Amino acid sequence: MPPSDIEKNYFFQHTECDYFPCHEGVPIERFNCLLCYCPLYALGEACGGNFVYTKKGRKNCVNCTVPHDGDSGVRLVKKRFDELAELAARKSDES
């Protein structure tokens, strides 16, 4: 299957990385490193990925391939951008 227009513009592989590929389950030719640190992490339980919480309450995303499978992560971040922007916004009553 040819890459989508999004994937052509938002696809990056860092094959020299010591951890490449850092998650199992994505064919190597589709493994996208662009979202190495997933912006969806900040959405907590609502991120849409395959994660678990550790005993200490931290999110463990080792089994999540959403941001790394071709353009699926980019499409999801674009779809959820308003939620992410809201988390990052400075509230007028807090400034």
Q: How far apart are CA 76 and CA 85, in angstroms?
A: 14
φ/ψ of 69, rounded to 5, equals -95, 90
**pLDDT value at 92 more than 90:** no
φ/ψ of 31, rounded to 5, equals -70, 115
**pLDDT value at 94 more than 80:** no
Q: Could you report the per-residue pLDDT of 76-87, keeping only the tens digit for each?
A: 999 999 999 999
Q: Could you report the per-residue pLDDT of 9-67, keeping only the tens digit for each?
A: 788 899 999 999 999 999 999 999 999 999 999 999 999 999 999 999 999 999 999 99
Q: How far apart are CA 15 and CA 1, in angstroms?
A: 22
Confidence of residue 93 (pLDDT cuts 50, 70, 90): low
Q: How far apart are CA 93 and CA 95, in angstroms?
A: 6
**DSSP letter, residue 37:** S
**pLDDT value at 4 more than 80:** no
